[in-house]
Every structure is written in C-alpha cells, then in structure tokens.
Structure 1
Amino acid sequence: MDLVFDSVAGLGNFALYFLISIALLFVFKIAYTFVTPHDEWKLVKEDKNNAAAIGFGGAVIGFAVALSGAVSNSHNLVDFGVWGVVAIIAQCFAFALLRFTFMPKIVERIDNNETSAGIILASVSIAVGLLNAACMTY
C-alpha cells in the first residue's frame, strides 16, 4: 500500500504544474496571435487554411516542447513561470526571425494557403522549441 501512496505523492505538484502549463498555453496563443499579422484562428476555423493550421500547430508544438523543458528544469513555480514566459518570447522570436530574414513573404504565403510556407513555419517553430528546451538545462 505504501507503494501506491508513494506513487501518487507528487499528484498535487503535477496538477499545479499542469494547470499552469495549460494557462501558459492560452497566454501563448494570445501572444502569438498578437505578434502575427494574420488571425490564425480565422484562417483555420473559417477559411480552412491548411498552411495556417500547419504553421500554428508547429508553433504550439514548439512552445510545448520548450515548456516541457521549463517544467523539467525549474526549481519552483516562480522559476517555471519565468521560463514559460521565455518560451513564449522565443516562439514569437522564431516567427519574427522567419518573417524578417528567411521568408519575408511568409504572411502573404500563409494567407494564400501555401502549404510549403506552413511547413517551413512549423519546422522553424519546432526547431526553436527544441533549442529553447535544450538551453534550459543549465
């Protein structure tokens, strides 16, 4: 019986970190939508834009990967919150980096539903999320 109690001893911390993670995911969605000049939700939900769905999906995955690094390496909830905000900034930076350097017409291409642009955006977002998570292992 002690084995069962030992197994669920961390359930409270799990729940707390998980709820904060979900809250940060919503904050990320708002921040990312604010940074991008197009409305991803409208493009995906109303226009059924595959490029926007792929690009935004990659950004969410990249953020989640970075956030998982923050959870794994944080010392407490405040530390986790700080690194969660860093992850949001890094993902917004990834979009800006792509938009203003490698693919200046990324917004136009996603608006035009060019799947290749969505795939590149998703790839860069996931790559930045992986790098961000690795860099949090200080």
Structure 2
Amino acid sequence: MTAADILALFPSTFLNFLIAFGLGAVFWVAGLVIVSLATPHAELALLRAGNLPTAVAFGGKALGMVLPIAAVARSAAGPLDQIIWCVVAVGVQLVVHLILSMLLPGRLKEEIEADQIGGGAIFIAFMQVGAGILNNAVMSG
C-alpha cells in the first residue's frame, strides 16, 4: 500500500475512529456515573474535595471500567456490536462493585469519613482493576 492509498483511505478510517472513540468515551463516563449512583456517598463531591480513599477507589473503578470498553472498541464488528458489548462491560463492572460493597459493608465509608486510605479503598481499587483486566481479556477474544 502506497502513501497515496493510505491518504485516500484516511477520511473513512478517521470517521470510524471517531465513532469508536466517541462510543467508548460515552460508555466509560456513563458507566462511571451508573456505578457512582450505586454508592451511598457523593463520589464527585468527595473527589473535588480531595478525599484520598475516594480517589483510590474511584480510580480503580475508572481503570477497571475502561479496560473492557477498550477491548470492545478494538474488536467490535461495528457501532451496534460495540454498543451491545459496552453495555455488558458496564454491567459486569457494576456487578463487581455491588459484590464488593456487600463484602466490605461500611469499610470504605469509614475510610472516606476519616479521609485516610486503608485496606478497603485499596482492595476495592485492585479488585475493580482485576475485574476489568479479566473482562478485557474475555472481550478481546
């Protein structure tokens, strides 16, 4: 393939990139909002206030959420396929979040109120990332 051929294809491939990236970004943000709604505290307000346990736990959620969404963006057969699998990716991360909330009831809340990072925030962050890595591997084929 020559440089001229590549340049001729660029507009259509760039449009595909924009669509895939846009869908991924929308699902990443929407997924984080959905998971945040399932928490008993206002994570965004706590993040703005500089609460460290919230930052650690939410950072793990954000990374865990984007990993499978990235896998889907890479392997989807088209926009509809990407949307379907992004919904699955967000759903998996939400289920992991809910399970962790049941396993550690009140632990993260205590750390947030004390604004001290402890085992709860770190454990939640690593488990969310771990779930995202597993989800990514399964979704990327």
- TM-score norm. by structure 2 comes to 0.86
Residue in 1 that maps onto 2:54: 52
Q: Percent identity?
A: 22
Residue 137 of structure 1 is aligned with which of 119, 124, 140? 140
Please list every run of at least 4 consecutive aligned residues from structure 1 whose deviation after the TM superposition is greater than 6 angstroms.
Answer: none
- After superposition, the C-alpha distances for 1:38-58 in whole angstroms (9 at most, x for unaligned) are 111111102x21110111111
RMSD: 1.7
Instruction: Give the Å deviation of 1:94.
Output: 1.6
Aligned length: 136
Residue in 2 that maps onto 1:109: 110
Structure 1 unpaired stretches of 5+: none
Greater radius of gyration (CA): 2
Structure 2 residue 52 is the aligned partner of structure 1 residue 84: no
Structure 2 unpaired stretches of 5+: none
CA distance in 2, matches of 1:4, 1:15: 17
CA distance in 2, matches of 1:49, 1:3: 48
- TM-score norm. by structure 1 comes to 0.87
Residue in 2 that maps onto 1:95: 97
Residue type at the aligned position of 1:21: G
Instruction: Give the Å deviation of 1:2.
Output: 2.5
Asked if structure 1 preserves the Cα contact closer than 8 Å seen for 2:72 and 2:82, the reply is yes
Residue type at the aligned position of 2:85: W
Instruction: Give the Å deviation of 1:27.
Output: 0.9
Asked if structure 2 preserves the Cα contact closer than 8 Å seen for 1:38 and 1:107, the reply is no
Residue type at the aligned position of 1:71: A
